A and B are shown apart, each in its own frame.
Chain A
């Protein structure tokens, strides 16, 4: 039986992610765990999370999970969600600066307090909370069956700014364009919450559960 590990490092509500994976997983075993051995033995890995990046990386290091994540991101289908996407970059501006895992080159930046809609001039609230469109910038197995510009559910005040444009797989506009999805080889990571994005999100998670890790 196929298995997926949802990495539990004590930040955020992982129950939603696990429930959605169970819903689309065709009987796959879904393990919410911080056990490095169990994570390494799983067929695929989901790295979720909400909160601050500095706390996230500190917890990963304390639990010995940073190396596990680096290894899994090299050799099996790997999905980062929200903070789990931001944590894959080099560095974040959050709280005066924090290092990420450096799996993708680039920075994590905050939305400005003075964020405005460039067309209407209207003030945009931070966090960016709610349903925004995602423009798929290139085909990918995880986009299969999801209409171009579908809406996904976002909740975040920081966003990833990857250094390599070729690693961006989707963009969203909130005051300005930002990377809603990055992808390279067997790794895919999204800023939005597929587990809370109804049909479009479930389709993406179902694609992930069927993905062989080849782009």
Chain B
């Protein structure tokens, strides 16, 4: 009996509403983060990630309200990311009920921010999110670079060196997104996932490219991911989280199946 691999649905939130249209049956209000979070919780999601894609400052207050409302009704770990730039931002989200905070651009802009955040709030709640893009030409060994601004802005940082440095600074977990695969439904960048997972001794969440349940198996078995994050395959109701877990279990991967644990002695 070991540690279960985790499945983490991700919700993009803009001005307090879930965007990228959630379409599963029985949800009255597809944009309501609380309803969607409750549904994923019932399906057996191991954690939830909320990414705030709101540009404005006022929108962030709305995000804190969303987190507070979800945290009062869903009792699994909640990670919040998007626009986190100061320890004040972190404190506000933790006070609202978030358990972990994902830091992305702010870490690139000022790496010491990660160290300060981990010292102040504990490494266990600091997730460093990394957007990676493959660089280098044909025939060269694969190499990845850290990008920001949704993959538009190059930083010149090597992904493997960067994640090692972030863990040294106190990151408790790495959320790794392949910008080449994000939205393609072609599966994770497995070489990238493996390179990062082998490089650090903290858990790695693979993200970007999931189009079917086999991709989740590959991310764990071939990529070495500790957790897999997906959005569209769950949002569009193609698969439930429970179906995904049963698929992983059928491939010999240990998962938490709450429905198997409900029966009292």
Contact = CB atoms under 8 A, between A and B. Distances in A.
A202 interface: yes
B6 A19 contact: no
B172 interface: yes
Give the size category of B's interface with A: 35 or more
Given A147-B261, A195-B75, A200-B261, A16 B99 contact: yes
Contact of B72 (A19, A151, A201): A19
A149 interface: yes
A138 B171 CA distance: 37
B94 A13 contact: yes
Interface string B165-201: 0000000110000000000000000000000000001
A163 to B, nearest CB: 25
B118 to A, nearest CB: 11
A149 B1 CA distance: 9
Interface string A4-18: 000000011101100
A109 interface: no
Main secondary structure of the interface of B (DSSP, over half): loop
Interface stretch (A58-66, A99-107, A122-130): A122-130
Interface in A103-156: 113, 117, 123-133, 135, 145-151, 153, 155-156
A135 B1 CA distance: 10
Given A13-B99, A131-B256, A202-B75, A125 B94 contact: no
Contact of A23 (B72, B124, B125): B72
B234 to A, nearest CB: 17
Contact of A130 (B46, B72, B94): B46
A212 interface: no
B258 interface: yes
Contacts of A113: 201
A127 B75 contact: no
A50 interface: yes
Contact of A201 (B75, B99, B201, B202): B75
A124 B77 CA distance: 21
A34 interface: no
B75 A132 contact: no
Interface string A182-212: 0000000000000111111110000000000
A214 interface: no
Given A125-B201, A130-B46, A15 B96 contact: yes
A132 to B, nearest CB: 5
B25 interface: no
A16 B97 CA distance: 6
A148 B262 CA distance: 10
A51 interface: yes
A130 B73 CA distance: 20
Contact of B3 (A12, A131, A146, A149): A131
Contacts of B154: none
Q: What are the nearest 10 A-B pairs in CB distance?
A: A131-B256, A131-B4, A133-B1, A150-B261, A151-B256, A155-B124, A13-B94, A145-B264, A51-B122, A147-B261
6 contacts: A50-B125, A125-B203, A127-B172, A130-B6, A130-B203, A151-B261
Given A15-B97, A129-B172, 14 more contacts: A15-B71, A16-B71, A23-B72, A23-B73, A51-B122, A113-B201, A128-B3, A130-B46, A131-B4, A146-B264, A147-B264, A148-B265, A197-B75, A201-B75
Interface of A: 11-13, 15-16, 19-20, 22-23, 50-51, 113, 117, 123-133, 135, 145-151, 153, 155-156, 173-174, 195-202
